[in-house]
Structure 1
Amino acid sequence: MTDYIGFGMLTPVTIMTVDRFPRHNTGAMVKEIKEFVFDDAAIIACCLAQWGVDAGMIGTALGNDPRGHRLALDLKQRGIQGDVRFTNAYETPIEVDVSDRRGARTYFWQRTPEMLATLDTADLSMIEGARLMYVDWYDGESHITRAMKEANRLGVPVFLNLEYGHKDIHLLKRYAKHTTICQAVTDAAQLGKNRGLMMTARKLLNAGIEIAVVTMAKEGCLVAQGDQAVRIFAPKVKAVDACGAGATFSSGFAYGFLQGWDMERSARFATAAASLKVTRAGLDMFPLEEIQSLAAKLRVEYLAFRDNQFVKIGKIIAFQQKNLERKTRHLAHRIAASPLIPKKKPQEKKK
């Protein structure tokens, strides 16, 4: 049995870092090259395994070729549980990601309907006994819903990466009934500000999501549950490779969830893990102690859900204090004006 199960696309990836992404029909000098296992469900499995979590993967079939067999061996060597299936119907896909030092990453990927359709025949027995299952919306609703329903039947919480898919409210509602944790972004380019963060979180909660996680790259995140929310601000770091930062955040939040941490501690850890990840190429995780040390130093704001909107706790306390002071003054004036209160007679000056 495993604590974490990832369900989704499997592909090897080559990550290249450059100073600046080249213009069309030109080139750039590559600074570093790293290889890893993608997509996000597999990234998270590999990240969690580095932190000592028992992790497994139910993925798409790989081509029966050297690239596919190398990936299967890589998963095994990383300690990821699960049987990898092979097919002669297509070659193993590959993804190439180019990260620049401004924090951007550009990706080139292969994912055909034929590849994703192999999720429909995957054995789901590994889900039983797991404590969390992760799925990605970009693998397709028709392919991931079967696994989500099976997790629901077995009482396994589902972590859905919805990105900007919440823009389709009908899709959000269909996913929400199967989802415990939903990670989203304000928009495709993650350009939304604080208002966008809060509106997105509110939309997820109103749809029935239990824990709403909204990320905004270098601006940090907002995590909401019930009528409470925390806003975590990411530290300033020198970006080298932003590829996989979102999945690293998911890994950190999943780790906190599996440890039984509250949403603030989980969000702090996730933000710290993702921030440290972008400072070097590849997806070798920083030690837990180093991540926790940074997490403890992050700036945080506390919010509460009032009148169908999130309000900073500090503002609520200030409003309540002013309201109390106003009521106290009003009461004092009423008492002073009451005919039941005897008026003090002016005292004669002593001679």
Structure 2
Amino acid sequence: MLTPVAIMTVDRFPRHNTGAMVKEIKEFVFDDAAIIAGCLSQWGVSTGMIGTAVGDDPRGHALARQLEDLGVQADVRFTKAYATPLEVDVSDRRGARTYFWQRTPEMLATLDEADLSLMEGARLMYVDWYDGEEHITRAMEEAKRLDVPVFLNLEFGHKDVNLLKRYAKYTTICQAVTDAAQLGKNKSLMQTARKLLNAGIKTALITMAKEGCLVAQGSEIVRVFAPKVKAVDACGAGATFSAGFAYGTLQGWGIEHSARFATAAASLKVTRAGLEMFPIDEIHAVAERLKVEYLTFRDNQFHRLGKLISVQQKVIVHESRKLVRHAADSLNSKKRASQKSAAKRK
């Protein structure tokens, strides 16, 4: 799905039939696949986007220009059948977001006619389950034919065992979530990971919001704990995690390195509104200090092997917070310098 988005931050949501002052507005290209393409492009990875058609209107043409400005290859198709959709996301001061979107069967059906030639020579294809099985299977089948690994964002879709089974035959990396896992409940976390592995998926990613993530590949499992940060805007955090793990995979990293990087990238992202990514070196600085727990998968059971903690936990949390603040301050300084430079030129 391709759609422009306006991300607004407010202190708190207003009561019904009243208003609220908006603190900040950021505009970007959505949905998750477009976010990931944009993230990876900002990190120097060549990316392409195969998406739904957009309206042949100013908003649709502006979206195409945004993708081009991001360095994302895309043959954006324009249609007169409908207007370009718009998503509006509102984040409160705790980082929680409420979204309003347009996603009609007519829009999603345009995926069925999308040109898949961009997949030739690709090293990885990301696809979202919520675009609909009837629309994404064609691309997954083509990826399998071309021997391109598929990264599927399945979210809560794993609850449908038959759907999981159908997707598993195409999928190399699968990202999933459960409400219980996001609350840090290990039983749900382990059950979901085991379900994905038993379905035949090579790499299972279970995201847990502020609790971090678990990544399982074969008998190797790592649990990465996220740093404590001040959340401003959680919109796009899951997609940023996906982009981070995809980046690590494309670099040939192991699952621990990739999971650390993905967790750090997503944690930094929520500290500010919008989808401008932090530099790779700043993400690495946070990633290398995260607490990691090791497990193994044997006899259809998970076994805890121990924890790797480079320094005491209090120091890890303290240093992670310092690095997050430093990264944010660094970006703000660069922005102020850029604004002063622009003012001088004027």
TM-score by length of 1: 0.86
Report whether the alignment pairs 1:74 with 2:66.
yes
Tell whether the 8 Å contact from 2:181 to 2:208 is kept in structure 1 after alignment: no
* Count of aligned pairs: 307
Task: Give how far 1:100 is off.
Answer: 1.2
Q: What is the RMSD computed on CA atoms of the aligned residues?
A: 1.3
User: Match for 1:240: what amino acid?
Assistant: V
Report whether the alignment pairs 1:55 with 2:47.
yes
**Residue among 175, 199, 205 paired with 2:197:** 205
- CA separation in 2, counterparts of 1:125 and 1:134? 15
Secondary structure at the aligned position of 2:73 is classed as coil
- CA separation in 2, counterparts of 1:77 and 1:309? 48
2:118 is matched with 126
Task: Give how far 1:192 is off.
Answer: 5.5
Q: How does 1:275-286 map to 2 (within 5 A)?
A: 275-286=267-278
1:21 is matched with 13
Report whether the alignment pairs 1:108 with 2:106.
no
Task: Give how far 1:189 is off.
Answer: 9.0
Secondary structure at the aligned position of 1:314 is classed as strand
2:156 is matched with 164
Secondary structure at the aligned position of 1:114 is classed as helix
Report whether the alignment pairs 1:151 with 2:143.
yes
2:132 is matched with 140
Distance 1:168 1:187, change over 3 A: farther
1:312 is matched with 304
After superposition, what is the alpha-carbon deviation per residue over 1:134-169, rounded to whole angstroms, capped at 9, x for unaligned? Answer: 000000000000000000000000000000100000
Q: Displaced runs of 4+ in structure 1, greater than 3 A?
A: 187-192
- CA separation in 2, counterparts of 1:309 and 1:17? 43
- CA separation in 2, counterparts of 1:227 and 1:103? 35
Q: Greater helix percent: which structure?
A: 2
**Larger Rg over CA atoms:** 1
Secondary structure at the aligned position of 2:137 is classed as helix
1:319 is matched with none
After superposition, what is the alpha-carbon deviation per residue over 1:97-121, rounded to whole angstroms, capped at 9, x for unaligned? Answer: 0011212111000010000000000
- Name stretches of at least 5 consecutive residues in structure 1 with no aligned partner: 1-8, 316-351
Larger CA deviation: 86-95 vs 14-23: 14-23
2:294 is matched with 302
Distance 1:131 1:123, change over 3 A: same
Tell whether the 8 Å contact from 2:181 to 2:188 is kept in structure 1 after alignment: no
Secondary structure at the aligned position of 1:305 is classed as strand
- Name stretches of at least 5 consecutive residues in structure 2 with no aligned partner: 308-346
User: Match for 1:39: what amino acid?
Assistant: D
- CA separation in 2, counterparts of 1:95 and 1:191? 27
Task: Give how far 1:22 is off.
Answer: 2.5
Secondary structure at the aligned position of 1:293 is classed as helix
After superposition, what is the alpha-carbon deviation per residue over 1:59-80, rounded to whole angstroms, capped at 9, x for unaligned? Answer: 1001000000000011111111
After superposition, what is the alpha-carbon deviation per residue over 1:195-214, rounded to whole angstroms, capped at 9, x for unaligned? Answer: 21111110000011100000
